[in-house]
Amino acid sequence: MQLNDLLDEILLLILKKLHNCEVLYSFHDVNQRFNRVIHDRIFTSHLNFVQWSCHKIVNKFSSNFIDQFSLQILPEICKRIKWFNLESSFMTHFLSANKYPNLCGLGLYNVDEETINFLFTDNNLSFDIFKNQITSLVVGIDSEKKNSSIVENLFFINTNQKSKKNSKSQVF
């Protein structure tokens, strides 16, 4: 018996034991059936590209993996993604690659002041995501780059967004 001979339900049980990004990467375009199975929300709604290692968050995958994932897989599943966990070096790569209409949560790790300032400006491609979609934001500040202005900028941006939303709702 081969993997392709298994019922979808059994295949799902097996694949759920693996990391969802690895499932998407490994079984992408094997055949139509596998594409249908791996595009299930179990594998596409929450994508985690980081891992905890030696007291810090690091990228779980190589840059080749990330490049291929963002070019070939993300365009097919971007409407299904609800949450990203990303390390700062790949944030803009992912956030500017596609539109994510259902993205409502974001974990950003190893951020520094430059990254925060870049992500939350009107000129940035991802600013609209933060302004209109993200309801849950987790920020992991790189302990080697800890800076009180990062927290101040996040607080200011959050307060500013709330006041913009409140003023908009008062107008309507």
pLDDT given at position 102? 95
Answer whether residue 104 shows pLDDT above 70. Answer: yes
The pTM (predicted TM-score) of the whole model is 0.79
> Which is it for the CA torsion 141, 86, 102, 96, positive or negative?
positive
Answer whether residue 142 shows pLDDT above 60. Answer: yes
The percent of the chain in helix, strand and coil, each rounded to the nearest 5, is 55, 15, 30
Angle 72-76-77 (CA atoms, 0-180°, nearest 5)?
115
